[in-house]
Chain A
Amino acid sequence: MSDLIRKDASELAGLVSSGEVSAVEVAQAHLDRIAAVDGDVHAFLHVDTAGALASAAAVDVKVKAGDKLSVLAGVPLGLKDILATNGLPTTCGSRVLDGWIPPYDATVVTKLREAGVVILGKTNMDEFAMGSSTEHSAFGPTHNPWDLERIPGGSGGGSSACVSSFEAPLAIGTDTGGSIRQPAAVTGSVGVKPTYGGVSRYGIVALASSLDQAGPCARNVLDTALLHSVIAGHDPMDATSINAPVPDVIAAAKRADIKGMKVGIVKELGGEGYQAGVRSRFEESVALIESLGAEVVEVSCPSFPAALAAYYLILPSEASSNLAKFDGIRFGNRVGDDGTKSVEQVMSETRAAGFGSEVIRRIILGTYALSAGYYDAYYGQAQKVRTLIKQDFDAAFAKVDVLISPTAPTTAFKIGEKLDDPLAMYLNDVATIPVNMAGLPGMSLPIGLAPEDNLPVGLQIIAPAMADDRLYNVGAAIERELLAKWGGPILGMAPELAGA
């Protein structure tokens, strides 16, 4: 197997732009890796060999011509299958969209193509991004490279697994309640949910429009920042896109200096319900942060214990509306249209055949929460809790520069363990959800392995809106110390995959 697959994105971009290695060689090395190990990992739903090699060849032409290249030209990437790709299948992990080929690109995809990033294919996910394990994909689960019997997180488990199994140095995820950060945490990779509105949502199939945000996944903080800088920015095609300069995340990742910063531990996100090894690694990082000259204080966000409940009313409510368009009329599959049935009957059969059980549960729940008579008690009340969560964050950020917590309460659990217990599954996102509710940026950074199971643990870093650069500064400072302590990247400790 080529050494190229273990290199950082920044290093690969340097090799390509200097002409030392061609972008085609880099793409081929990663395609070979996918061919060797993805039978076991199942990170990809669709591999676009021809498209990847063609876009790599286009980068090589520019290198030869001496054209100016972007910071990630020629670097391969896995794209979550929720972003529309012109000419490439886009399923959202759902049978209802099996075979659908969008006629346009999401803005994020347009930006990646313009930057010469080589899209290897589309990555697996929980159906319509509903889940924390990727087990709810209609096309079978993705397996965690650290232990193939365990989940890679979700909903973006394909993106986290392709990065952590060296199939791609970069991936794009989307994060509605933790779907970038929790998969990063349980696979030992880095994932960032940018500020809401920081990255365009145009062409991304909506789950819950007020919460969804696309973001970068990579194996280290600098690579994550480079990808962030490529995809972020104002987009007139998205009315919720923020029209302001993108924070300089690359400079922040290079600064890596937290001396004099104030860091807050969120009292409500930790302790009971968190695995012992998650807690011990978190406490070690607190000590590390202090040793780097930052002041660490505890802050209380008293409304956070109700965040999970509010989220599981707001998300299903928005999803029940957003997913109404999957009715077999304008795109996707149609079931039962034999000429005798009404449009309502055909829609009902199409949706029953096309949606998995978790999607059906959440649509029914959302339909209930929005019903006349229940609206105020459920959806209306959840929106008020959302205000309280935002006020808690505002009060906290009046005292500190960033907040920290464990990203997820446990390490990766076994496939099948929580599949038919929705409430147990929902608890995986207990620490990540408040961030989406307030629209803030958050990062998950690997901070070591839990001693009891030797599986990765993630640290969540949270910053105020449009202060995404703080995540990268703090993350890079901690990462530098941990790399020195470990003697190399955490993924170097992962077992070799058998197919390699």
Chain B
Amino acid sequence: MSGISQEDVAHLANLARINIPADQLGHYAKQLDAILNAVAEVSSLDTENVVAMSHPVPMTNVFREDIPGVSLTAEQALSGAPAVEDERFKVPRILDEE
């Protein structure tokens, strides 16, 4: 259930928003193929009737009283931002021009 091509890596890199240079796609494809072959071992166990487990502790919703507390100021929250304008995060163009 594996077999990962350079085209697959390019597609996945695009989904993950990582600009991998074309000359590195082959190297990643080879390594990922080897890793996928190894992790295919998860299919070696009989898991019929086994329930999947996402967390080691029971996941129940946790509520708290709705009491106002101290939170970060806008200045603090923006302190690490690469670009700021008018007390807001400044971002690159979101919409295409076409």
Contacts and interface: CB of A to CB of B under 8 A. Distances in A.
Nearest to B76: A103
Contacts of B41: 305-306, 308-309
Contacts, number: 177
A351 B19 contact: yes
A333 B82 CA distance: 6
A384 interface: yes
Contact of B15 (A103, A236, A367, A438): A367
A348 B81 contact: no
Contact of A383 (B45, B54, B82): B54
A365 B47 contact: no
Q: How large is the interface on A (under 10, 10 to 19, 20 to 34, 35 or more residues)?
A: 35 or more
* Interface SS of B by simple majority: loop
A306 B28 contact: no
Nearest to B43: A381
A193 B75 CA distance: 36
A312 interface: yes
B17 A104 contact: no
Contacts of A242: 57
Contacts of A361: 28, 31-32, 35
B52 interface: yes
B56 interface: yes
A209 to B, nearest CB: 9
Interface stretch (A154-162, A166-174, A334-342, A409-417): A334-342
A310 B42 contact: yes
B22 interface: no
A260 B59 CA distance: 36
A363 B39 contact: no
Interface string A421-449: 01100100000000001111000000000
A132 B89 CA distance: 36
B42 A330 contact: no
A352 B18 contact: yes
A423 B92 contact: no
Interface string B11-26: 0111111111100000
Interface stretch (A47-55, A385-393, A398-406): A385-393
Contacts of B15: 367
A421 B83 CA distance: 38
Contacts of A439: 55-57
A331 interface: yes
Contact of B19 (A332, A348, A426, A437): A348
A339 B90 CA distance: 12
Nearest to A210: B55
Given A352-B18, A368-B32, A387 B80 contact: no
B39 A387 contact: no
A101 B54 CA distance: 32
Given A305-B41, A352-B21, A439-B56, 10 more contacts: A306-B42, A312-B39, A342-B92, A343-B91, A349-B19, A351-B19, A382-B42, A387-B51, A423-B35, A465-B56
List the 5 shortest-distance A-B pairs measured between CB atoms, nearest first.
A439-B56, A383-B52, A331-B80, A334-B82, A309-B41
Interface of A: 100-104, 196-197, 210, 236, 239-240, 242, 303, 305-306, 308-310, 312-313, 320, 324, 327-334, 337, 339, 341-349, 351-352, 355, 360-361, 363-365, 367-368, 371, 374, 377-378, 380-388, 390, 422-423, 426, 437-440, 465
